[in-house]
């Protein structure tokens, strides 16, 4: 009995001591992380732990550079005081950064600043950022090579024709063998073309029906093929930089208008200039799927040197390939559709948030435009003083109609008049 009782007690003791150990080690980890956390919150916006410059200098080997303690403490707390005191080193960096001084951190406690100083002097060994796996890169190169169903059909037909030919040959030779045995003269081979001719002559109606069916099929196919000319639904060109809308607008939930900021102010939504890319990519130099490869192309276009954090190289425009191209004889304004019509981007551009490579999902044909103009109400018109009198007039005009027809659609405002888009 005794031994049975002792065992759990021992285990309990062991468990408690283990827990204690874990807790104390956690505590230590927490004390260390404090400096790291403070650094990320307060300093990392301008300083890196490496030797590259962001806004302020990189802090690698800072302890060896700066004067002896407590200089760094005082500098972090209130660098303006240090500058005022006439400190030589302070003056030197101020001159180096053209008089741009650092923010003051008087709101941090002394303990917090000490933790920061300790962290900056002995930063943790940099954890290597995971390089993108080949798996993630995989589907980029492999384009789908589907087999045309028409080719399969024609292949099958050709195969059948060959089999018929072979079988005909076989029957013919068998018959001749039989004839030879029976002492009959050899039968002359009838060419397949002659046989078909004979068949046509004897089956005139069937032939006519078959010809009509084939002709009808060809005509419809041809009609649809003609209708597809100039319709680029599904167009998905490869862009000079593998920009992914999925990562930006989907995973990171950046609003469409952050980059396409002209959409409410102009005819075109606009392709963002590189400085808009640099608003984030000045700090983010590695992406989740392509690593640094694609983002380096932005730096090259912007003339940005990631090492010094400055724009020192010549700029090169990025030649993006236009996906949605309206013919020159159509006037289309994004401003009117988004600002007044309150149309969501996805109504025409589809679910861009899920697209790795941008794709045209709408046909952009005139029928498609008019279809929407017939169905869509203009919500931005009601509370817009510019359209007040027009809205009143139209509401009066369609008063007598059944309820569902009273909706003032784009078409009712003249939105399907020729001159509205073609002028």
Partner 1 sequence: MNKNVIRIVSAMSLFSCMTIGFTSCQKHDENSPGVEFMPDMYRSPSLESNMAYTSLETGEEKQANMLPVKGAIARGYMPYIYGNDTAGYSNAGKYLRNPLGRTEANLKQGEELYGKFCVHCHGATGQGDGLVGGKLPGAPPSYSAGALKTLPEGKIFHSITYGKGLMGPHAPLMTQEERWKVVLFVQKLQNPGGTAPAAEANTVVPAAEGAAVPAEAPAEGKK
- Looking at residues 312 to 351 of the shown chain, list those that interact with partner 1 (rule: CB under 8 A): 317, 319-322, 325, 327-329
| CB 236 to partner 1: min, Å | 7
Give dist(CA 212, CA 234) in Å, integer: 34
| CB 21 to partner 1: min, Å | 32
Among 15, 29, 63, 158, binds partner 1 (CB under 8 A): 158
| CB 152 to partner 1: min, Å | 9
Question: What is the widest separation between alpha-carbon atoms in the chain?
Answer: 130
- For residue 417, the number of C-alpha atoms closer than 13 Å in the C-beta half-sphere is 7
| CB 37 to partner 1: min, Å | 10
Ranges within 285-314 binding partner 1 (CB under 8 A): 311
211 lines the binding site for partner 1 (CB under 8 A) = no
x/- string (CB under 8 A) for partner 1, residues 104-133? xx-xx-------------------------
Among 4, 125, 127, 147, binds partner 1 (CB under 8 A): 147
* Of the candidates 344, 329, 340, the residue with the CA atom closest to the CA atom of residue 413: 340
Angle at 389 between CA 387 and CA 390, to 5 degrees: 65
45 lines the binding site for partner 1 (CB under 8 A) = yes
Considering only the stretches 17-25, 34-42, 69-77, 402-410, report the one whose residues sit in contact with partner 1 under the rule CB under 8 A. Answer: 34-42
178 lines the binding site for partner 1 (CB under 8 A) = no
Among 172, 246, 339, 391, binds partner 1 (CB under 8 A): 172
Size of the site for partner 1 (CB under 8 A): 80
Backbone phi, then psi, for 310, in 5-degree steps? -130, 160
Distances (CA, A) of 21 to 15, 17, 26, 33: 10, 6, 8, 18
40 lines the binding site for partner 1 (CB under 8 A) = yes
| CB 98 to partner 1: min, Å | 8
Considering only the stretches 14-22, 84-92, 236-244, 405-413, report the one whose residues sit in contact with partner 1 under the rule CB under 8 A. Answer: 236-244
| CB 173 to partner 1: min, Å | 6
Give dist(CA 117, CA 378) in Å, integer: 60
Among 173, 179, 198, 308, binds partner 1 (CB under 8 A): 173
Among 139, 216, 217, 228, binds partner 1 (CB under 8 A): 228
Give dist(CA 299, CA 281) in Å, integer: 9
Considering only the stretches 206-214, 271-279, 398-406, 410-418, report the one whose residues sit in contact with partner 1 under the rule CB under 8 A. Answer: 271-279
368 lines the binding site for partner 1 (CB under 8 A) = no
């Amino acid at each position: 009995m005794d031994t049975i009782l002792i065992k759990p007690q021992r285990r309990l003791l062991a468990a408690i001591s283990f827990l204690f150990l874990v807790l104390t080690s956690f505590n230590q980890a927490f004390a260390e992380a404090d400096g790291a956390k403070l650094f990320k919150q307060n300093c990392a916006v301008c300083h890196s732990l490496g030797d590259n410059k962001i806004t302020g200098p990189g802090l690698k080997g800072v302890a060896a550079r700066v004067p002896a303690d407590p200089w760094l403490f005082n500098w972090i707390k209130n660098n303006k005081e240090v500058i005022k005191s006439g400190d030589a080193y302070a003056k030197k960096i101020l001159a180096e950064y053209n008089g741009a001084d650092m923010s003051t951190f008087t709101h941090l406690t002394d303990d917090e600043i000490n933790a920061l100083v300790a962290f900056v002097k002995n930063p943790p060994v940099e954890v290597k950022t995971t390089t993108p796996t080949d798996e993630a890169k995989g589907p980029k190169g492999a384009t789908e090579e589907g087999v045309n169903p028409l080719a399969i059909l024609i292949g099958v037909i050709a195969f059948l024709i060959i089999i018929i030919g072979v079988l005909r040959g076989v029957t013919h030779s068998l018959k001749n063998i039989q004839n030879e045995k029976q002492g009959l003269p050899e039968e002359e081979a009838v060419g397949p073309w002659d046989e078909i001719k004979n068949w046509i002559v004897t089956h005139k109606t069937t032939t006519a029906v078959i010809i009509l069916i084939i002709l009808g099929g060809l005509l419809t196919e041809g009609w649809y093929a003609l209708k597809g000319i100039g319709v680029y639904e599904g167009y998905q060109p490869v862009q000079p930089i593998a920009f992914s809308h999925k990562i930006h607008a989907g995973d990171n939930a950046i609003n469409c208008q952050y980059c396409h900021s002209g959409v409410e102010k102009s005819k075109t939504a606009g392709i963002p200039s590189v400085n808009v890319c640099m608003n984030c990519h000045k700090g983010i130099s590695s992406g989740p799927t392509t690593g640094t490869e694609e983002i380096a192309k932005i730096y090259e276009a912007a003339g940005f040197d990631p090492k010094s954090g400055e724009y020192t190289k010549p700029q090169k425009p990025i030649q993006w390939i236009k996906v949605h191209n309206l013919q020159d004889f159509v006037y289309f304004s994004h401003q009117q559709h988004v600002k007044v019509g309150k149309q969501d981007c996805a109504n025409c551009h589809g679910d861009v948030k899920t697209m790795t490579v941008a794709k045209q999902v709408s046909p952009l044909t005139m029928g498609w435009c008019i279809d929407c103009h017939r169905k869509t109400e203009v919500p931005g018109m009601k509370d817009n003083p510019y359209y007040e009198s027009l809205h009143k007039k139209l509401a009066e005009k369609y008063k007598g109609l059944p309820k569902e027809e009273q909706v003032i659609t784009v078409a009712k405002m003249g939105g399907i008049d020729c001159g509205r888009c073609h002028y």
